[in-house]
Amino acid sequence: MSQNTLNLSQKKAILLLEDGSRFEGIAIGKIGTVGAEICFNTGMTGYQEIYTDPSYYGQIVVNTTSHIGNYGVEDSEQESNAPKITGLVVNTFSQDYSRNTGHGSLQEYLEKNGIVGVSELDTRLLVRQIRDTGAMNAIISSEDLSDDELQRRLAEVPSMDGLELSSFVSTKEPYFVGDENSEYKVAVLDLGVKTSILTHLASRGAYLKVFNAKTSFEEMASWNPDGYFLSNGPGDPSAMDYAVKTAKQIIAEDKPLFGICLGHQIISLACGISTFKMHNGHRGLNHPVKNLVSGKSEVTSQNHGFAVNREDVENSDLVELTHVNLNDHTCAGIQVKGKKSFSVQYHPESSPGPHDSRYLFDQFINLFKS
């Protein structure tokens, strides 16, 4: 254990919000200063999967569950090669862990990966502040900086509105997942894909080639896939004209197409449907969604700060509404009319989360058979 780890219990950290709110706590992770948009996740478990989800790139995450770090970290629970969050805020942080399959403590993990965080502050009060005021930028510092200096650095943090981030987390070179002798080939446009999504597709008989976010349709099509997948990812979809262009060409080809979260937003934009930045987004494991086709409801895992304009969907001649979020009645899924293209605004791989929505992977694979 490093000297940095041993001294953390004595080290103060400051969280400063864009609206001027100031919180004081105890440093966790790396000693340093970071700024980004702040958001909260209400999930009661799965913190490692949350931290390694590329959709959180460029964000400070607040865990609303009170105890974090108690079961350590495990290699199999990575959703990407390393944490993608910018910073971390928790209530009670455990330096020790009690899982016999764990590969190390969360503190060692955060420190190794350069993640700055703060603990021992009132996360209930903080979440209420974000919920009521809306998404905003924030800065965490465990260095000896004045409030004036923190305010200066905070003012330099870019707004998430209009920010393109997928190109920062997407694979640099194509790679393959699954059995090359599988019955179907799926081209994946990696906008910030989670490992478990690829695992679910491959386990259903798909051989995947994962492409960089800015790959042209022509290059993807030259592999002669049976279908396409547009992944989740970070940032503002309206800043991704390159992906929207690709989605338009995929839809026109009319091979099976499935989109999740950011992929859902990109498909919607390709069909002339607008997106917008939400007040504070949906991030958690218990969001109720109704499937308007089957009439059934499902409890879903969600992580997004942008959404598709439901009014545009309902007035569109190109798409139809298939899923609705039962908390705020936002669009949670669409189907492109007359095409084999559909998408949802949540995470059916549910890592972590309930398994209600995994039928969507089967629905996608069945399109190859029809």
- State the Cα–Cα distance between residues 230 and 243, nearest whole angstrom: 9
Mean pLDDT of the 12-17 span = 98
State yes or no: pLDDT of 220 exceeds 50: yes
- State the Cα–Cα distance between residues 132 and 149, nearest whole angstrom: 27
Q: Of 282, 287, 304, 347, which is the active-site residue?
A: 347
Quote the percentage of the chain above a pLDDT of 70. 98
Q: What is the pLDDT of residue 6?
A: 41
Of 116, 104, 120, residue with least CA distance to 59:
116
Q: Of 79, 200, 261, 271, which is the active-site residue?
A: 261
Lowest-confidence pick of 9-13, 30-34, 117-121, 327-331: 9-13
Q: What is the pLDDT of residue 357?
A: 97
**304 residue type, one letter:** H
Look up 347 and say whether it is catalytic: yes
Which tens digit of pLDDT belongs to each residue from 152-188? Answer: 999 999 999 999 999 999 999 999 999 999 999 999 9
Peptide bond into 54 cis (omega under 30): no
Q: What is the pLDDT of residue 370?
A: 77
Look up 108 and say whether it is catalytic: no
Which tens digit of pLDDT belongs to each residue from 59-114? Answer: 999 999 989 999 999 999 999 999 999 999 999 999 999 988 889 999 999 999 99
Q: Of 18, 37, 49, 349, which is the active-site residue?
A: 349
The pLDDT mean for the chain works out to: 95
Of 277, 278, 303, 301, residue with least CA distance to 288:
301
pTM: 0.95
Q: How many residues does the chain have?
A: 370
Q: What is the pLDDT of residue 10?
A: 78
SS3 assignment, position 135: coil
% helix, strand, coil for the chain, step of 5:
30, 35, 40
State yes or no: pLDDT of 5 exceeds 60: no
pLDDT-derived band at 9, boundaries 50, 70, 90: low
Mean pLDDT of the 259-268 span = 98
Look up 331 and say whether it is catalytic: no
pLDDT-derived band at 4, boundaries 50, 70, 90: very low
Non-local (6+) Cβ contacts of 311 within 8 A are none
First-to-last C-alpha distance (Å) of the chain: 56
